[in-house]
């Protein structure tokens, strides 16, 4: 059997090490991708450091791949050998190293695969899988908004109405950490849903976020950020009923809870990307839910099909959705450990990639 190179995690808290492993074949409903570019995510270094959701070693981490279809499984008709694609690799939930991203070849579900437009680079494509999937789960699973097509508008009446505004008013949503890749995609999907978008991000990102759909922006470093958001919503005649915290630390969640608690909306919902911290009291009158990336390929495979197979390819080709900024870390697969180290230090407004 043919072999390929993989960046393996040999043990918890160890550095990644390159080694050969057997190249897999896709099963029914799967495709095998020859990876050209791989992206790293915060969950990768967190799993490396803690062993979270790892049952045995060595393990292949990673979820974001972009490349060319090497082989399509027996029941796959939407993709063929040679197609340029991006995909969400799902080893996090399957536990199968063939499904990990940090290697030359990865087996993915066809339902979690997106056709990459001809004019878009592999680098741009690799920034999207996890960010777009997480944003989709935040808006259309945790917050339970109806799935939309371009130009539709979600109104207050569709999530319970509001106390002091017409039910026909566009719904207000707060995206905290708008310059993160998840925040960036959440803003764009929320714009397509016709929501009024309020975002918190470092000031130097404001113009860029405004260009993709944010109506009002505040600097989250500002001591008046919470009051500024509420005042802005009042001036706009829109209430902030929903929130997505793309950072989800104790500090950011406390701020988001303040905004929702002071809002006069009747139904309030908050989606967060990490487990709720013990140091933050669970808020009364606010529905909260953690965004589970593993559910994207399993419990909500309907959303995976809607996003990956139907909506995102069209939106990317039309320029309706644009990819986040990125930075390539040198070294190919051997540079993945440096990319994880860099990400752990903190990255703002860009996705870290390696070229394979």
Structural domain total, the chain:
2
Domain boundary at 248, 273, 291, which? Answer: 291
Same domain, 16 and 136: no
Same domain, 143 and 56: no
What is the model's pLDDT at position 289?
Answer: 97
pLDDT above 70: percentage of residues in the chain: 94
For the stretch 102-140, pLDDT in tens is 999 999 999 999 999 999 999 999 999 999 999 999 999
| 286 pLDDT more than 80 | yes
What is the model's pLDDT at position 158?
Answer: 52
| 166 pLDDT more than 70 | no
Task: Return all residues near 74 (Cβ < 8 A) that are at least 6 apart.
Answer: 27, 28
**Total-model pTM:** 0.93
What is the model's pLDDT at position 197?
Answer: 97
Same domain, 351 and 303: yes
Distance of alpha carbon 43 from alpha carbon 195, whole angstroms: 29
| 150 pLDDT more than 60 | no
- For residue 214, the surrounding DSSP H or E stretch is none
Half-sphere exposure of residue 16: CA atoms within 13 angstroms, side-chain side? 28
Residues in the chain: 356
CATH of the domain at 68: 3.90.180.10
Same domain, 167 and 276: yes
Same domain, 232 and 320: no
Range of the domain at 32: 3-128+295-355
What is the model's pLDDT at position 152?
Answer: 54
Instruction: Please give the mean pLDDT across all residues of the chain.
Output: 93
Domain boundary at 268, 291, 314, which? Answer: 291
Task: Return all residues near 67 (Cβ < 8 A) that are at least 6 apart.
Answer: 33, 34, 35, 36, 37, 84, 85, 122, 356
Same domain, 268 and 204: yes
For the stretch 214-256, pLDDT in tens is 999 999 999 999 999 999 999 998 889 999 999 999 999 999 9
**Band of pLDDT at residue 10, cut at 50, 70 and 90:** very high
Pinpoint the alpha helices (H) of 222-333. 225-236, 250-262, 301-304, 312-318
Structure tokens, 286: 């606010």
Same domain, 83 and 197: no
Domain boundary at 260, 291, 322, which? Answer: 291
Same domain, 144 and 263: yes
DSSP 111: G
For the stretch 21-37, pLDDT in tens is 999 999 999 999 999 99
Same domain, 300 and 274: no
What is the model's pLDDT at position 149?
Answer: 66
What is the model's pLDDT at position 281?
Answer: 92
CATH of the domain at 156: 3.40.50.720
Range 154-165 average pLDDT = 48
Q: Tell me the DSSP string of 2-48.
A: -EEEEEEB-STTPPPEEEEEEPP---TTEEEEEEEEEE--HHHHHHH
Same domain, 140 and 274: yes
Same domain, 186 and 67: no
Half-sphere exposure of residue 325: CA atoms within 13 angstroms, side-chain side? 10
Same domain, 85 and 159: no
């Amino acid at each position: 059997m043919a072999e390929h190179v993989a960046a393996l995690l040999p043990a918890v808290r160890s550095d990644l090490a390159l080694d050969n492993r057997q190249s897999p074949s896709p099963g029914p409903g799967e495709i095998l991708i020859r990876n050209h570019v791989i992206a790293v995510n915060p969950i990768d270094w967190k799993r490396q450091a803690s062993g979270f959701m790892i049952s045995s070693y060595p393990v292949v981490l990673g979820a974001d791949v972009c490349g060319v279809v090497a082989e399509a499984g027996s029941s796959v008709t939407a993709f063929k050998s040679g197609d340029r694609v991006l995909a969400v690799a799902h080893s996090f939930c399957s536990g199968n190293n063939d499904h990990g991203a940090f290697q030359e070849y990865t087996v993915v579900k066809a339902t979690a695969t997106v056709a990459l437009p001809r004019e878009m680079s592999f680098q741009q494509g690799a920034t999207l899988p996890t960010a777009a999937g997480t944003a989709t789960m935040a808006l259309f699973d945790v917050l339970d908004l109806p799935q939309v097509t371009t130009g539709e508008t979600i109104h207050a009446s569709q999530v319970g109405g509001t106390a002091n505004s017409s039910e026909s008013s566009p719904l207000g949503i707060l995206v905290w950490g708008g310059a993160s890749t998840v925040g960036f995609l959440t803003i764009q999907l929320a714009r397509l849903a016709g929501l009024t978008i309020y975002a918190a991000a470092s000031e130097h990102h404001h113009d860029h976020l405004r260009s993709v759909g944010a109506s009002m922006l505040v600097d989250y470093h500002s001591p008046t950020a919470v009051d500024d958001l509420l005042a802005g919503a009042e001036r706009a005649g829109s209430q902030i009923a929903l929130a997505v915290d793309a950072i989800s630390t104790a500090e950011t969640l406390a701020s988001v809870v303040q905004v929702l608690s002071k809002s006069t909306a009747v139904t309030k919902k908050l989606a967060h990307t990490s487990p709720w911290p013990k140091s933050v009291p669970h808020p009364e009158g606010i529905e909260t839910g953690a965004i589970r990336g593993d559910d994207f390929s399993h419990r909500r495979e309907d959303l995976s099909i809607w996003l990956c197979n139907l909506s995102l390819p069209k939106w990317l080709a039309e320029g309706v959705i644009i990819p986040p900024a990125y930075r390539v870390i040198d070294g190919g697969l051997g540079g993945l450990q440096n990319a994880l180290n860099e990400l752990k230090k903190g990255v703002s407004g860009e996705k870290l990639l390696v070229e394979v």
